[in-house]
């Protein structure tokens, strides 16, 4: 889905303040990126040249680090992150149906964020609780042994209108 949140002047001000904490210190790139993501929710592409110049690097170097680490996001994400497991154990116990139901409940495809910035839907390879398959994680909370009724209950009142 397309980006629905624009980087505001306030966001750029926050980012500039963070850059100020690491100015000229190339080693600080990763903690700086973490700080930016914590402050703004993601790393706006328009911030990359500022970050690069603040640290004395090329924008392509900053971009390279961001693309290497999966924990960095260059698109705004929802307040709630829903991760549906696509691992083998979940797959054989109905994970595909669970994914279909979650997509329907949220009105989102994988990788999309709702226009109101409430939800982002992602899939993961395995969340490490295969015995409870099929599983999903909403923010930090795991929900296992799912079936269509449980999925409907989890998203009650949160359906896309």
User: Is 98 a residue that touches ligand FES (CB under 6 A)?
Assistant: no
| β-strand partners of 123 | 84
| Pair 98, 151: CB distance under 8 Å | yes
- Residue 141 or 156: the one with the smaller Cβ distance to ligand FES is 141
Among 82, 85, 121, 137, binds ligand FES (CB under 6 A): 85
**Binding footprint of ligand FES, residue count (CB under 6 A):** 12
Our CB check for ligand FES shows the closer of 50 and 83 to be 83
- Summary count for the chain: helices (H), strands (E): 7, 4
Residue nearest to ligand FES according to CB distances in the complex: 87
Q: What is the largest CA-CA distance in the chain?
A: 54
Whole-number minimum distance, CB 23 to ligand FES, in Å?
43
Q: What is the DSSP secondary structure assignment for residue 145, as one 8-state letter?
A: S
138 binds ligand FES (CB under 6 A): no
Choose between 47 and 127: whose C-beta lies nearer to ligand FES.
127
Helix (H) or strand (E) holding 121, with range, is strand 119-124
Q: Which of the 8 DSSP states describes residue 117?
A: S
SS3 29: helix
Q: Could you give the CA distance from residue 29 to residue 33 in angstroms, rounded to a whole number?
A: 6
| Segment contacting ligand FES by CB under 6 A, of 15-23, 55-63, 66-74, 120-128 | 120-128
Residue 109 phi, psi dihedral angles, 5° rounding: -100, 170
Q: Figure out which of the listed residues 12, 81, 129, 154 binds ligand FES, where binding follows CB under 6 A.
A: 129
Is residue 126 near ligand FES by the rule CB under 6 A?
yes
- In angstroms, what is the minimal distance from the CB of 25 to ligand FES? 39
């Amino acid at each position: 889905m397309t980006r629905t949140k624009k980087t505001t002047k306030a966001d750029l001000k926050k980012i500039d303040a963070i850059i100020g904490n690491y100015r000229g210190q190339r080693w600080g790139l990763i903690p700086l990126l973490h700080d930016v993501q914590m402050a703004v929710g993601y790393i706006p592409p328009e911030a990359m040249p500022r970050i690069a110049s603040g640290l004395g690097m090329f924008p392509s170097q900053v971009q390279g680090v961001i693309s290497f680490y999966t924990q960095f996001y260059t698109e705004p994400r929802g307040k709630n992150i829903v991760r549906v497991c696509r691992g083998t154990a979940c797959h054989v116990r109905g994970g595909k149906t669970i994914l279909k139901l979650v997509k329907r409940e949220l009105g989102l495809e994988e990788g999309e964020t709702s226009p109101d910035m409430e939800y982002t839907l992602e899939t993961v390879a395995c969340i490490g609780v295969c015995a409870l398959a099929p599983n999903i994680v909403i923010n930090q909370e795991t929900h296992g042994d799912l079936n269509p009724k449980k999925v409907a209950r989890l998203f009650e009142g949160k359906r896309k209108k």
